[in-house]
Amino acid sequence: MKYGGSLPVGDWPDIEALRAFAQTLDEGGMDYVSIATHVLGMALGSMPDQPLHHYYGPFREPLVLFAYLAGQTRRIHLRTAVLILPAYPTALLAKQAADVSIISGGRFEMGVGISWNPREYEALGQDFHTRGKRLEEQIALLRKMWAEPQVTFEGRWHRLDGIGVSQVPPPIPILIGAGPEDRLLRRVARLGDGWIPLVDPVEPLQRLRRFVEEEGRDPKTFRVSGRLAIAQGEAKDWVERVRRLRDAGIEDIEIFPGRGLSGAAAAEKLLEVRKLLSSEFG
């Protein structure tokens, strides 16, 4: 089993709290630290049809933060969960991600998604309506740019002619955040190294595994993350939740501490839960 701890978005403006949180998880044996991301945020209530968690912020720029945390930690992996891929210029992101992977010694994992917010896309000069197709082309280009120092590529949104990041970084796994609809799971199966589900993954998992097999890939090596929110319930509820995920074949648990805790308190709580789960499931 692998266990990750999520950085609570917006609770700690102090970078020292973020550093201490990551270092505590690193020293305490957590496998990865994750962070939710947006490039831009909005005032609370500015889109009344959206739930409150869509307004949490400020969102830290993950590649900047992870480059810093890579130098402040030893072994813990650094995962975006998720980075809004179509919001970024692909070649620039390829360079930044390659450097984070190199700086961290191969500890960077890139979870990507497409987001819900048309205003964010508009502000960044990107087309909200083609974001899914653009993400597909971006993943293909990113993999090529991380495998070859200079590349030639012709797509709908990208044209590169013998140019690139001039280095080959340690492998960067791409996990795709998506819902359970068949068309989305087929994209995950075709393009991703894993799935970060936006819903309970147990029921859709069998369909995803079938789609992975149809792509000629091995479902046993395809990574799936399960979420555990510990702000509600108690130990027996958490154990039961993780048992259900593990019985479905999910061995990656991303733990959310909830909001309103100090960095030290959140880190302590996460490590307590990891110890509890490790004693039950390894």
Percentage of the residues of the chain whose pLDDT score is greater than 90: 87
The domain containing residue 52 runs over which residues? 2-281
For the segment 184-231, what is each residue's pLDDT rounded down to a tens digit?
999 999 999 999 999 999 999 999 999 999 999 999 999 999 999 999
78, containing H or E segment: strand 77-84
d(CA 22, CA 5): 9
The answer to whether residue 11 scores a pLDDT higher than 80 is no
d(CA 134, CA 171): 22
Q: Which residue has the higher pLDDT, 30 or 46?
A: 30
Mean pLDDT, range 16-20, rounded to an integer = 92
Helix (H) or strand (E) holding 80: strand 77-84
- Cα–Cα distances in angstroms (integers) from residue 12 to residues 9, 66, 117, 228, 271, in the given order: 8, 16, 24, 21, 19
Kindly tell me if the per-residue pLDDT of 167 is higher than 70. Answer: yes
> Positive or negative, the Cα torsion across 19, 110, 171, 26?
positive
Please give the pLDDT value at position 12.
67
* 246 pLDDT more than 80: yes
| Mean pLDDT to the nearest integer, 174-189 | 98
pLDDT, tens digit (0-9, with 9 covering 90-100), for 66-115 = 999 999 999 999 999 999 999 999 999 999 999 999 999 999 999 999 99
Q: Which residues contact 59 (CB under 8 A, 6 or more apart)?
A: 9, 10, 36, 37, 38, 39, 40, 41
Q: How many CB atoms lie within 10 A of CB 19?
A: 17
Q: What is the CATH number of the domain that holds 171?
A: 3.20.20.30
Q: What is the pLDDT of residues 134-154, one digit of tens each?
A: 999 999 999 999 999 999 999
Give the side-chain half-sphere CA count within 13 A for 136. 13
- Mean pLDDT, rounded, of the chain: 95
- Nearest Cα neighbor of 255 from 98, 89, 31, 103 is 31
Domain count, the chain: 1
CB 108 within 8 A of CB 101: yes
**DSSP-based three-state secondary structure for 278:** helix
225 with 197: CB under 8 angstroms? yes
